[in-house]
Amino acid sequence: MREKRYNAIITGVGMYVPEKIYDNAYFEKIVDTNDEWIRTRTGIKERRILDKGGTSVLATKAAEDLLKSKNMSADEIDVIIVATVTPDMFFPATACLVQENIGAVNAWGFDLSAACSGFLFAFQTGCSLVESGDYKKVMVIGADKMSSIVDYTDRNNCILFGDAGAAVLIEPTEDKNYGLQDSLLRVDGSGKDVLNMKGGGSLNPPTHETVNNNMHVLFQEGKAVFKVAVKGMADISYDLMKKNNLTGDDIAYLVPHQANLRIIGATAERMGISQDKVMINIDRYGNTTAATIPSCLAEYYRAGKVKKGDKIILSAFGAGFTWGASYLVWSMD
């Protein structure tokens, strides 16, 4: 990697999940499924559902939580990046709505669309802005109201997803021992046919026909995605460790995208990381798309489980396909 002017460190975390819960018993009532199948095939016990408002509600509350925990004023923020595939509207960007809601009067910002890898890609983008020396306080938010695009008659997919928002603040440091050290990120558009939402965009603008054909919901061929996700996430995480001369013993935490406990387990195994060093919240929230990784970071840090100097690998796989891994050294006490 080229020599950087500054390193980018995480200096704050925040998160929000709505109160309403859909547990596995709820799905037993609406589709042909059962608690045992869901738990053993996915690791999910329950998910949170946002009744009122769009993704900006989740993103705003996560941002407010972060600001409150740091006792920081929103006018200090330079940039807001919101990773989401469920924006309130195509435009304006959800980042603009968050900016207004929190009163970040000096910020610019934008949305980034990379599905389940959204936070990872937004985190890299935010870090690069900080590393350049051009921006000092970048808020990166991962938020998705997945319940707005889930087909609750599709038993293959409806049991998987939940709603959440989570945020990190990124700032510069001259100490190169901390913060983002390296990333490997990839996209491969040949995956577009097995995980997508076909309707609503410029290819298939909304019509009665697109609605009748159920084109405004998430479509996923689970088995096909599972195979590439296991390999994609495990290989890239392993490659990043090798590139940085790390072994499983060096790593304090793997923070994987929470799509399926079996994918997470396979990734950890390939990296030689024991399960107790893997951040997990899929059991309580399901797959919250862009919010999985930052919500894990927020929960584990606040529980006192993450220490300054801990070596951490973030890893994700999602629609696109998009995937990647980032290696960082935690800098907060």
**Residues known to be catalytic:** 116, 257, 287
Smallest gap from Cβ 326 to ligand UT7, in A, equals 17
> For 45, phi and psi rounded to 5 degrees?
-110, -40
**Binding segment (CB under 6 A) for ligand UT7, from list 53-61, 125-133, 152-160, 170-178:** 152-160
Specify the residue, 162 or 172, whose C-beta has the smaller distance to ligand UT7. Answer: 162
The H-or-E segment that residue 12 falls in is: strand 7-16
Specify the residue, 27 or 330, whose C-beta has the smaller distance to ligand UT7. Answer: 27
Distance from the Cα of residue 219 to its chain's centroid: 19
CA distances for 197 relative to 248, 262, 268, angstroms: 37, 24, 30
The H-or-E segment that residue 13 falls in is: strand 7-16
Note whether 287 binds ligand UT7 by CB under 6 A: yes
Smallest gap from Cβ 303 to ligand UT7, in A, equals 24
Could you give the dihedral angle defined by the CA atoms of residues 211, 27, 282 and 99, in that order, rounded to the nearest 10 degrees? Answer: 40
Specify the residue, 66 or 230, whose C-beta has the smaller distance to ligand UT7. Answer: 230
In the list 97, 240, 259, 290, the residue contacting ligand UT7 (rule: CB under 6 A) is 259
Smallest gap from Cβ 161 to ligand UT7, in A, equals 9
Best CA proximity match to 311, nearest among 227, 224, 248, 222:
248
**Binding segment (CB under 6 A) for ligand UT7, from list 34-42, 53-61, 63-71, 295-303:** 34-42
Note whether 41 binds ligand UT7 by CB under 6 A: yes
Task: Answer for the pair 123, 179: CB distance below 8 angstroms, yes or no.
Answer: no
Note whether 148 binds ligand UT7 by CB under 6 A: no
**Parallel, antiparallel, or unpaired for β 163-173 and 138-145?**
antiparallel
Smallest gap from Cβ 131 to ligand UT7, in A, equals 28
Count of all residues that appear for the chain in the document: 333
Smallest gap from Cβ 242 to ligand UT7, in A, equals 23
Task: Answer for the pair 69, 107: CB distance below 8 angstroms, yes or no.
Answer: no
Find tokens 């993704």 and name the residue: 55
CA distances for 33 relative to 111, 241, 281, angstroms: 35, 39, 22
Smallest gap from Cβ 90 to ligand UT7, in A, equals 22
Note whether 222 binds ligand UT7 by CB under 6 A: yes
Note whether 33 binds ligand UT7 by CB under 6 A: yes
Note whether 42 binds ligand UT7 by CB under 6 A: yes
Note whether 223 binds ligand UT7 by CB under 6 A: yes
Rg, the chain, Cα only: 19
Note whether 226 binds ligand UT7 by CB under 6 A: yes
What secondary structure letter does DSSP report for 202?
Answer: S
CA distances for 220 relative to 89, 194, 195, 266, 318, angstroms: 22, 5, 4, 21, 11
In the list 21, 26, 35, 37, the residue contacting ligand UT7 (rule: CB under 6 A) is 37
Contacting positions for ligand UT7 (CB under 6 A):
33, 37, 41-42, 116, 155-156, 159, 222-223, 225-226, 229, 259-260, 263, 287, 317-318
